[in-house]
């Protein structure tokens, strides 16, 4: 469970599951950059495992005030598409609508990197949400795994190995 809180306005108890994730569209699925994670799997786990924990009989037995707590899911982050691949963008995941305003990034295979027409700057993981710093180093080499960058114009990019999403 991520957060258990009492709403001061309503006086009701709330269970919140919160995640910040980054997913890349490939062959109809949204994969995490390491390819071990997928949006459909994460969403299913949060809805069918994590959220129900606050209503589990053992939890309620130990914390009776939380019986009937409302459940809330907040998943934020960024969705990435490959501009060098003509692929339809799904409008939902597991029947839940995708917020298309979150499709704010791009990704490509290492073999396609030369098609990016502006300089890239590698991001530290702590900068994935906020973007590059003034002293960010230009990205020029292929990494062993994936790399997250931001372009000179502010576009976010993931560059993934040519065999991705296979490991």
- Is the pTM higher than 0.85? The answer reads yes
3-state secondary structure of 167: coil
Q: Report the number of distinct structural domains present in the chain.
A: 1
Residue 167 lies in a domain: no
Residue 102 lies in a domain: yes
Q: Is 47 exposed, middle or buried (0-12, 13-18, 19+ CB in 10 A)?
A: middle
Band (pLDDT 50/70/90 cuts) for residue 113 is very high
- Which two structure tokens, joined as six digits, stand for 17? 């599951």
Q: What is the mean pLDDT of residues 110-122?
A: 95
Q: Which domain holds residue 46?
A: 3-160
Residue 166 lies in a domain: no
As beta bridge partners, residue 18 has 74
Residue 152 lies in a domain: yes
**Closest of 143, 140, 146 to residue 165, by C-alpha:** 146
Q: Rounded to the nearest 5°, which phi and psi values hold at 17? A: -110, 130
**Long-range pairs of 133-138 with CB within 8 A, sequence gap ≥ 24:** none
Residue 72 lies in a domain: yes
Whether 149 has a pLDDT exceeding 90, the answer reads yes
Residue 92 lies in a domain: yes
- C-alpha distances out from residue 136 to 48, 117, 120, 151, 162, Å: 40, 18, 10, 11, 25
Q: How many CB atoms neighbour CB 90 within 10 A?
A: 15
Q: Is 36 exposed, middle or buried (0-12, 13-18, 19+ CB in 10 A)?
A: exposed
Number of H helices, E strands in the chain: 2, 10
- Looking at residue 62, what DSSP letter applies? H
> By the 8 A CB rule, do 50 and 71 touch?
no
Q: Write down the pLDDT at residue 14.
A: 96
Residue 81 lies in a domain: yes
Residue 70 lies in a domain: yes
pLDDT tens digits, residue range 27-39?
A: 999 999 999 999 9
């Amino acid at each position: 469970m991520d957060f258990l809180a009492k709403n001061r306005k309503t006086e009701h108890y709330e269970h919140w599951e919160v995640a910040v994730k980054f997913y890349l569209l490939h062959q109809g699925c949204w994969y995490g950059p390491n390819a071990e994670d997928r949006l459909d799997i994460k969403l299913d786990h949060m809805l069918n495992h994590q959220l129900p924990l606050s209503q589990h009989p053992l939890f309620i037995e130990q914390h009776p005030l939380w019986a009937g707590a409302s459940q809330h899911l907040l998943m934020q982050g960024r969705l990435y598409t490959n501009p060098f691949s003509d692929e339809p963008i799904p409008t939902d995941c597991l029947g839940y609508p995708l917020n298309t305003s979150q499709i704010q990034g791009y990704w490509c295979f290492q073999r396609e990197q030369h098609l990016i027409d502006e300089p890239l700057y590698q991001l530290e993981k702590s900068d994935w949400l906020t973007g590059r710093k003034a002293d960010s180093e230009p990205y020029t080499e292929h990494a062993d795994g994936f790399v997250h960058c931001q372009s000179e114009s502010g576009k976010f990019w993931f560059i993934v190995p040519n065999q991705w999403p296979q490991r």
